[in-house]
Structure 1
């Protein structure tokens, strides 16, 4: 039942956001009482926290799976950066978490740093294996990747330019790996 409640809550979060979904809506959709929901979750905030815990847990699992991918460097990099989770977080939800759920925002930032560490190791390994030009300064590339990752959380930039996170990932990988010159 706990998982069913979380699944319905996730669909409500995707539609209404973190603050506007209600326990009543979940109860109605599941045809259960609010009291039943409160047996599994003490509050709406606990549901939000569990939502983020699941997102982060599954994203980490999928990232670790992507690390073991046996393919080209660029494909592996793409899989690591874009590894999804069971519950995909729309960008407006990330922005809302940043504003109203600082604890969950901090956990998203830890996930970002987890992925950045993996990407940096992948790049170091690729440099050792000769897959990246020798004259590339790793320190600069590393800092560039850190700064670029902030674009994923720039709600205004994504919305104003009608971009998805996948668009950003594809564009970043294309620009960083293939360059901008013809």
Structure 2
């Protein structure tokens, strides 16, 4: 039952936001009493914490699968972007913003886990790009991976990138292009241009 509650809460939080959904909403959606939820979670904060790290682990697992199967680190980044956007419902309820505002301790803990995971993953990806001559030999791999993390979090700042002006899909695609153009070789640029061309076709069809 605990796992079912976590999955249902995750679905509702990602669709409507951490703030909007109450314990009553979750209980009603599942057809159970609110008391049943409290048997497994002392309060909403504990449920939000469980959901947050469950989603994190699921996303990490999906990213690992993409990295293991990807043809090259350029296509890999766009595949990861698509996976994350689909799983997080295009962040239409701004879960990142709401978690930071209403559950700062959970947000801080998640940030640390995300950095540890992304830093090592991106370093490995960039190193592979350098070895396959898609990325420039002269780049500082550790520095670039840290800058990448800051940028991916920075585009979620609603003050700098207000929702009414920028949607998350545009921000992520634009940031990926910006990031990659800074580190690709001529060989890498050919791969990037091909991926971007495919992205334009997909966007026009959607």
Q: TM-score range by the shorter chain?
A: 0.7 to 0.9
Whether 1:27 and 2:41 are equivalent positions in the alignment is no
C-alpha distance 150-14 of structure 1, shift in aligned 2 (>3 A) = closer
Q: TM-score, normalised by structure 1?
A: 0.79
- How many pairs were matched up? 178
**How far did 1:31 drift?**
2.1
CA RMSD of aligned residues (A): 2.8
2: CA distance between counterparts of 1:16 and 1:141?
34
Q: Which whole-Å CA distance do the structure 1 matches of 2:142 and 2:119 have between them?
A: 13
Q: Is the 8 A contact 1:18 1:48 kept in 2?
A: yes
1:176 aligned residue (175, 179, 188): 179
User: Take 2:173 and 2:86, find their aligned partners in 1: how far apart are those partners?
Assistant: 21
Query: 2:166 aligned to 159, 162, 168, which one?
Result: 162
Does the aligned pair in 1 maintain the 2:119–2:146 contact within 8 Å? no
TM normalised by structure 2 equals 0.71
- Consecutive unaligned residues of structure 1, counting only runs of 5 or more, are none
2:96 matched residue in structure 1 = 94
Shift in Å, 1:137 = 5.1
In structure 1, the partner of 2:185 is: none
Task: Determine the C-alpha separation between the residues in 2 that align with 1:136 and 1:25.
Answer: 50
TM-superposed CA distance for 1:71, in Å, is: 0.6
**Is contact 2:53–2:110 with CA below 8 Å preserved after alignment?**
no
**Contact 1:59/1:85, CA 8 A, preserved across alignment:** no
**Gaps (5+ residues) in structure 2?**
183-206
Q: Which residue number in structure 2 is paired with residue 56 of structure 1? A: 56
- CA distance in 2 between counterparts of 1:147 and 1:25 reads 35
Q: 1:145 matched to which residue of 2?
A: 148
**Partner residue in 2 for 1:104:** 106
- Which digits, 9 at most, give the CA deviation of each residue in 1:91-120, with x for residues without a partner? 622112112212321233124311132112
Contact 1:55–1:85, Cα closer than 8 Å, also in 2:
no
Higher relative contact order (CA 8 A, sep 6+): 2
Contact 2:10 2:55 in 1 (8 A): no
